[in-house]
Amino acid sequence: MLTTPTRASLVPAKSAQRRSLVDQARQSWIRKLTDLSRRNNLLYFRPLKTGTLDLGNADRKNMAAFLRGEEVSVRKLLPAETDDAFKQTGARDCRRAMANLEEKGLQTLFVAMGKAGVLI
């Protein structure tokens, strides 16, 4: 009785040498696509005068709600701040991020917690 060949039996076995060459090419592409220079804002954070809002003194209850994904205004996150310009900076940054998302499809508003150190 003849059996029909399956797809797996039609695919040639991969040699170790071929697998090694493909892996080397893949690693080369990854290195070329990953920007490890100081220009990469995802790897190297630097606070900006107009684009960074420090939430270190945020109200704990409202910050917990924010981290759960609930909508919380900047004024509720920073009720103790007396500088209204400071709160307006957060609102302006949020509006700019929404405009970037709607008009250009770019995600430009991120929240980062803590710091990570890497020893090289």
Q: Residues 6 or more apart from 75 whose CB is under 8 A from it?
A: 87
| pLDDT at res. 3 | 63
- Domain presence at residue 86: yes
- Ranges of residues in the chain with a pLDDT under 70 are 1-13, 42, 81-87, 114-120
Number of domains in the chain: 1
118 domain-assigned: no
Please check whether residue 62 lies inside any domain of the structure.
yes
User: Alpha-carbon torsion 53, 54, 55, 58, what sign?
Assistant: negative
Domain range for 73 is 17-104
Helix (DSSP H) and strand (DSSP E) numbers for the chain: 5, 0
CB 36 within 8 A of CB 43: yes
| pLDDT on residue 9 | 58
Looking at residue 61, what is its pLDDT?
92
The chain-wide mean pLDDT, for the chain, equals 78
Render pLDDT for 42-68 as a digit per residue (tens, 0 to 9).
677 777 777 777 788 888 898 899 889
In a domain, 4, yes or no: no
